[in-house]
Amino acid sequence: MTTQKGSTRDDLRFIIIGAGMSGILSAIKLQEAGFDYSIYEKADRLGGTWRENEYAGLACDVPSHLYCYSFSPNPDWSHRFSPGAEIQQYFLEVANKFGIDKQIKFSTEITRCEFENGRWQIELSDGSTDVGDFVIAATGVLHVPSYPDIEGLGSFEGETFHSARWNHDFDLKGKRVGVIGTGSTAIQIVGALIEDVEELTLFQRTAQWVSPQENPAFTEEEKADFRDHPEKMTALRADIAKTFAEGFANAVVDANSPELAMIHDVCVNNLESSVQDADLREKLRPDYRAGCKRLIMSEDFYDAIQQPSAHLVTEGIEQIEKAGVRTSDDKLHELDVLILATGFRVDRFMRPMEVIGRNGLALEEAWKDGPFAYMAITIPEFPNLFMLNGPNGPVGNFSLIDVAEMQFGYIMKLVEQVRTGACNEVSVSQPAMERFDAERKEAAKSTIWQSGCNSWYLDANGVPAVWPWTFDRLRDEMDNPRFDDFDLV
């Protein structure tokens, strides 16, 4: 539908894809603004990443009072860094509190979005259709599991599952468990399982720097004080955000920053003071700088990996056989259970959904050389379509809830251009996209992520596919959209 230029539109309709952290946020804010919307979720319940991941030891590495919506603080967090089930419960409660849980259409996957005659035509997995003026893709990053390409993976006769597809019906107690991977997920799993299993074998391809983490519980008195004085939660959140930004987020975008050197020294000291056996210590010592990969924080991993029942294997995996894992030294590691802590396909975003923009341009074609987005939000020739935590976003160094709130505010400033009649369609221009991408790639050269390691932050060309600037730069960009960079049609 098109309208005469200059006329105000209050009938705009939004389609939200996904009911995770960003989708819940979008629905609440659109509801508050009085806009009509539909929110579709492919799964049978909300939660996004915190629904997909339910593995043993799951916890957030961002402090609890920062990893929550600014407009809905939670006085009842149990710990400084909360367990995953508690975060999932928080999202359930927020959705219920604001009444958007009743608006979510569960078990309904959007299969196709096409921009036609000025509106987005939506096709759904149940054969039904919908239409909207705007699409907000709140599909997240960590939702499509990545499975390793290892010979014989399907031949193992024991129990096998990905960490994001945890088998809660299988009792791991007393079993010989193998874990493939050494990212945050694997580190948390090792700490959680070591006391219950007969043996735990961690297959390490790359050593990881581990920063010590204290995770004290909040006392009942502290929780009561937060409930009685919510301004204290607001102040604590602001203080954590400031420390997080200045002490880490701003440090990783400058590989030569003194803060990053300090972080590296803390990690080295943690390794050397925690691991007693010299051979094991050297196996656990990375050959790159702390922060090059996503920094792991743990209070129990080094203790766990030193238990008599724990085995660290650094030889490469040759193949998987009926009885277990055979490594390059021809040793067969016999197992009852194999857990794949091998992460996610972080380049999926809206895919495999089919998205068609102006003049029949398919997103798959636009992204044939890899996903990209201006400010991690918008793509040329896909008008009135916005992503939250899209490609090249600050996934590595900020609280993603903070990011999503800022991004949604930015999106609403663009929507206002349509609502007030300045235009009917808004999308970033191709020249602005190219300029932004060139600036991003140049800035990435000075970040710690390009200092000599291989991580999921890097794209197929080895360029960090994450926000390479400071928190202040992000906040400023989100507060002040460059409208000259947009095609307003």
DSSP string, 80-95: SS-BHHHHHHHHHHHH
In 3-state terms the chain splits into helix, strand, coil percentages (rounded to 5) of: 35, 20, 45
pLDDT number for residue 6:
57
The answer on pLDDT for 3 being more than 60 is no
Same domain, 173 and 48: no
Same domain, 139 and 184: no
Residue 226 resides in a domain: no
Residue 78 resides in a domain: yes
Question: Read out DSSP for 290-355?
Answer: TTSSPPEEESSHHHHHTSTTEEEE-SPEEEE-SSEEEETTS-EEE-SEEEE---B-TT-TTTTSEE
Q: By the 8 A CB rule, do 418 and 133 touch?
A: yes
Residue entry with tokens 């990996």? 305
Residue 475 resides in a domain: yes
pLDDT tens per residue across span 290-315: 999 989 999 999 999 999 999 999 99
pLDDT band at 5 (very low <50, low <70, confident <90, very high): low
Same domain, 158 and 96: no
Distance (Å, whole) CA 319 – CA 334: 13
Same domain, 297 and 349: no
Calculate what percentage of the chain has a pLDDT beyond 90: 83
Report the candidate in 258, 270, 476, 292 with the shortest Cα–Cα distance to residue 396.
292
Write the CATH number for 111. Answer: 3.50.50.60
> Which letter, b or e, does each residue of 217-231 get, where b requires 16 or more Cβ atoms within 10 Å of its Cβ?
ebeeeebeebeeeee
Omega of the bond prior to 352 within 30 degrees of 0, cis? yes
What is the rounded average pLDDT of the residues 77-97? 96
Same domain, 453 and 481: yes
Same domain, 358 and 328: no
- How many Cα atoms occupy the beta-carbon half-sphere of 454 within 13 Å? 5
Q: What residue type is 443 in one-letter code?
A: A
Report the candidate in 383, 384, 389, 419 with the shortest Cα–Cα distance to residue 405.
389
- Burial of residue 300, with CB atoms counted within 10 A of its CB: 0-12 exposed, 13-18 middle, 19 or more buried: middle
What is the rounded average pLDDT of the residues 54-62? 93
Same domain, 296 and 185: yes
The answer on pLDDT for 348 being more than 70 is no
The answer on pLDDT for 161 being more than 70 is yes
Comparing 18-27, 116-125, 271-280, 341-350, which segment has the lowest mean pLDDT?
341-350
Same domain, 317 and 411: no
Distance (Å, whole) CA 457 – CA 293: 8
Same domain, 320 and 452: no
E strand or H helix that includes residue 18: none
For residue 22, give Cα distances in angstroms to 95, 201, 241, 319: 12, 36, 19, 39
The answer on pLDDT for 364 being more than 50 is yes
Final residue in a domain of this structure, among 340, 372, 388: 340
Same domain, 409 and 460: yes
Final residue in a domain of this structure, among 340, 363, 397: 340
Average pLDDT over all residues of the chain: 93
Domain that holds residue 452: 13-144+345-488
Residue 4 resides in a domain: no
Residue 236 resides in a domain: no
The answer on pLDDT for 2 being more than 50 is no
Residue 245 resides in a domain: no
Final residue in a domain of this structure, among 301, 321, 340: 340
Residue 219 resides in a domain: no
Calculate what percentage of the chain has a pLDDT beyond 70: 98
The answer on pLDDT for 396 being more than 90 is no
Distance (Å, whole) CA 370 – CA 438: 14
Domain count, the chain: 2
pLDDT number for residue 7:
73
pLDDT band at 397 (very low <50, low <70, confident <90, very high): low
Beta-bridged to residue 340, according to DSSP, are 162, 180
Same domain, 388 and 409: yes
Same domain, 358 and 336: no
Residue 217 resides in a domain: no
pLDDT tens per residue across span 408-435: 999 999 999 999 999 999 999 999 999 9
